[in-house]
Structure 1
Amino acid sequence: MRLFLRCLLCCLAFCNLARADPQFKLLVLAAPNKYHYEYIPVAREGFERLGKLHAFEMTYATGLWALDGDLKQYAAIVLLNTSGEEFSDAQRRKFEDYVNGGGNVAVVHRAIIIPPGKWPWYEKLVGRSFTIHPMMQTAVVRTVDAGFPATFGVPARWIWSDEWYELANPHDVAIRPVLNVDERTYDPGRIWPGQVAKGMGADHPVSWYHSVGRARVFVTALGHDVNMYRDRHYLDHLYGGIWWAATGRGVAESR
């Protein structure tokens, strides 16, 4: 019995030691809003599994109170369907200081959207501005940068169903597209009465990355439905981009 207890204590000590040495720490902001709230517990489970699999630590916050703390502890902040339009003035200043100091960001789906002119700095951070989207439809997503980690876990031609955001570039920001959607495989004009969507043509990015000063920024417009946060390909896509944002690794090794 004593031998069993000693072995058990050694195992617990080893497990605690392993958990105490994460690669990096993330802040995941998953605040509810009108159209995105059901995903929150499902995405949390997905992120927790990723954390155990890939040995990173995470603060998963469903309120913006997390921005009031020490942001320097985080290798990256993940804006998970949580847009900067919801930040207070003080939180905006703290977030800007974090990024200007070299803090990294991953922007996911709804977090892209902010009313034009409300916070131009944030629009430049994202790199593209949302204009409209048609009804959710199935389409083919095509890899355009096979050397970027957010593509490593997805097919080169990927059948996916989402809201295909149409985007503008009012601030003339240079981005590096990762995934494009093929507009020939869905109807860009399928939209609600009174609204008009026309598509973007052959150059329609749905994921990209760029730098803002010393900060790395990864963006994906994919991720509308709650069930997507159970999908292996989507989680591989998401983690690949977050891993790059947090560490800067993965790109050079693949090229």
Structure 2
Amino acid sequence: MKSLIRSGITLVAAAALGAGLVVGGTALNTEKGNGNGLGGQPATASQIYLDEIKDYGVCRGTDPSCYHEWGNGWTEGEEKKILIWSRTAGPRHAHLGTALGPGLNPPLNANNVAQATLVQWAAERGIKADYTEDLSQFRLNNYQAVIFLSSNRDTLDDTAQTTLMQYIRGGGGFVGIHNAFGAEYSWQYYEGLLGGANFYNHGPNRDGTVETINNRDVSTTGMPKTWAFKDEWYNLIPYPSFVNVLLEVDKATSEATPAGHGENHPVSWCQYYDGGRAWLTTLGHDNAAWQGTLPGDGDAFFKEHVVSGIESAMGIKSFCTV
């Protein structure tokens, strides 16, 4: 089955919509007084039948009208700041190294590879990156984006969940990298933030071919049609929907495990969600991708992809171009 949305083109279940039209994950009824109780405003897709695709009760998709200019995005002249969140409550990826000490910006160990690299990559673009794994430091209002860097399982408590939700609704940026897809399994809001997707399984870390699906977005500009990369290629259930797919992995790699996605296996995408911006990638398992030691140009493409994705989620660059 083809991707439900590929480069911003929505799959429409016309028979279920009647006089309505689906755009970017919202159901727009073309008739006044459509009876949805919203005064003719866009209705969420959960109010209609759309191949059992969840809408999570919020405005989401590729339509910029889902974004809230409420002060959490970057504005000209403002300091550029992000928060890197790498707290794990389950298996810990090697690229994260040992758990960080308490507080904000604790000393990094030599094996905290991904955190140190991301701080360096941000600095090269004039972005100040704070980092923490301390729930008492999960305060987001001073940042234009929060990066969930392989932060898995129940990485947030109730207070932090509320903080994230309010931040997103205020126009904040969210970036999920690699095992951010293994977090908050019981929180439907977070699953929606990931694009209506969740981690199911993966095969061994192995070589694959990444396919550039949308080269118009700032995070994919200049990428070749295909490029080599090594990763744990995540299989996702649910499968992302109402998103702008940026990159996929080729069929031969994606079907290496029984839960492979077949013809279309996204590995990076973006969407507007409940007022905020969300940029997502399952890439980033291998230490070599962070250290710049992969053979070929894959690590360089990965670096540019991640940093430009962060800048777009912050509002520094254009976001989620379809």
Report the TM-score, using the length of structure 1 for normalisation: 0.79
Q: Could you tell me whether the CA contact under 8 Å between 1:85 and 1:119 is conserved in 2?
A: no
- Equivalent position amino acid for 2:134 in 1: G
- Equivalent position amino acid for 1:51 in 2: A
Percent identity, aligned pairs only, is 26
Shift of 1:238: 0.7
Matches within 5 A, 1:57-96: 57-67=128-138, 69=139, 71-83=140-152, 85-96=154-165
Match in the other structure for 2:313: 245
Structure 1 counterpart SS, 2:219? helix
Report the TM-score, using the length of structure 2 for normalisation: 0.63
Once the two structures are superposed, residues 197-252 of structure 1 have per-residue CA deviations (whole angstroms, 9 ceiling, x without a partner) of: 23101111000000113211000000112221123322111101111100162458
Work out the CA distance in 1 between the residues paired with 2:236 and 2:119. 31
Work out the CA distance in 1 between the residues paired with 2:159 and 2:269. 28
1:53 aligns with 2:124: yes
Structure 1 counterpart SS, 2:162? helix
Shift of 1:184: 1.8
Note closer, same or farther for the CA distance 1:79–1:123 as it changes in structure 2 (3 Å cut).
same
Q: Could you tell me whether the CA contact under 8 Å between 2:219 and 2:306 is conserved in 1?
A: yes
Q: Could you tell me whether the CA contact under 8 Å between 1:140 and 1:185 is conserved in 2?
A: yes
Q: Could you tell me whether the CA contact under 8 Å between 1:39 and 1:225 is conserved in 2?
A: no
Structure 1 counterpart SS, 2:190? helix
Match in the other structure for 1:7: none
Residue 235 of structure 1: which of 303, 307, 322 is its match?
Answer: 303
Work out the CA distance in 2 between the residues paired with 1:187 and 1:120. 27
1:27 aligns with 2:79: no
1:139 aligns with 2:200: no
Note closer, same or farther for the CA distance 1:236–1:22 as it changes in structure 2 (3 Å cut).
farther
Shift of 1:86: 1.6
Matches within 5 A, 1:5-44: 23-32=79-88, 33-40=90-97, 41-44=112-115
- Equivalent position amino acid for 2:131 in 1: Y
Q: Could you tell me whether the CA contact under 8 Å between 1:26 and 1:75 is conserved in 2?
A: yes
1:213 aligns with 2:274: yes
Note closer, same or farther for the CA distance 1:164–1:185 as it changes in structure 2 (3 Å cut).
closer
1:176 aligns with 2:244: yes
Note closer, same or farther for the CA distance 1:83–1:100 as it changes in structure 2 (3 Å cut).
farther
Residue 111 of structure 1: which of 161, 176, 180 is its match?
Answer: 180
Q: Could you tell me whether the CA contact under 8 Å between 1:211 and 1:217 is conserved in 2?
A: yes
Match in the other structure for 2:262: 201
- Equivalent position amino acid for 2:212 in 1: T
Shift of 1:186: 6.2
- Equivalent position amino acid for 1:174 in 2: F
Q: Could you tell me whether the CA contact under 8 Å between 1:152 and 1:236 is conserved in 2?
A: no
Q: Could you tell me whether the CA contact under 8 Å between 1:139 and 1:183 is conserved in 2?
A: no
Structure 2 counterpart SS, 1:242? helix
Number of residue pairs the alignment of both structures matches: 223
Residue 166 of structure 2: which of 88, 91, 97 is its match?
Answer: 97
Bigger mean CA offset, 205-214 vs 56-65: 56-65
- Equivalent position amino acid for 2:267 in 1: V
Structure 2 residue ranges without an equivalent (≥5): 1-76, 98-111, 293-299
Work out the CA distance in 1 between the residues paired with 2:280 and 2:187. 17
Work out the CA distance in 1 between the residues paired with 2:78 and 2:301. 24
Shift of 1:23: 4.7
Shift of 1:114: 3.4
Bigger mean CA offset, 128-137 vs 38-47: 38-47
Once the two structures are superposed, residues 82-119 of structure 1 have per-residue CA deviations (whole angstroms, 9 ceiling, x without a partner) of: 13622111111111111111111000000012364x10
Q: Could you tell me whether the CA contact under 8 Å between 2:82 and 2:130 is conserved in 1?
A: yes
Match in the other structure for 2:285: 224
Match in the other structure for 1:193: none
RMSD between superposed Cα atoms in Å: 2.4
- Equivalent position amino acid for 2:87 in 1: A
Shift of 1:169: 2.9
